[in-house]
Amino acid sequence: MTTVVCVGEMVRSLRHRNEPRTLARLAGTFEGYVSSILVNGTGLGVLVTMAIKDDLPVVLLTGWCLSNIGASAVVFVVVAQSRIQRPTAWAELEFVEQHAPKYGRPPETIEEYRAQQLQEQA
């Protein structure tokens, strides 16, 4: 299941690599993809240790871990590259996310009003 989500999001991130708004709406968070790389890397280490010690055929599981690592790494690199190349667009997205009025209520502060304007421009 994880592989299907990671590969789907990898393809989506590659298609929309120049669109920070689309990248910000990927399933999962930037930190989630980093943790996926770390967890699957740890699992790969365990599988290699099992293969060395017990001579177990772990090719399928190793391939699964490697595909998860690859897909997560691609999403990580695309989002990181977008954040580095377009810091103002990402700052605007984070401002809107933090200050936009929620649950359909009207804006009460200057920041909420500005966030609502930015949201409507998108």
Q: Residue 48 CA to chain centroid, in angstroms?
A: 27
Give the model's pLDDT for residue 57.
Answer: 65
Chain segment 86-117, per-residue pLDDT in tens? 898 888 888 888 887 777 778 788 887 788 87
Strand ranges (E), the chain: none
Quickly state the pLDDT bin for 122 (edges 50, 70, 90).
Answer: low
Q: What is the DSSP letter of 25?
A: T
Chain segment 27-58, per-residue pLDDT in tens? 777 778 888 888 888 888 888 777 777 766 67
Looking up tokens 């009207």, which residue turns up? 106
Q: Is the pTM of this model over 0.75?
A: no
Tell me how far apart the alpha carbons of residues 60 and 94 are, in angstroms, rounded to a whole number: 40
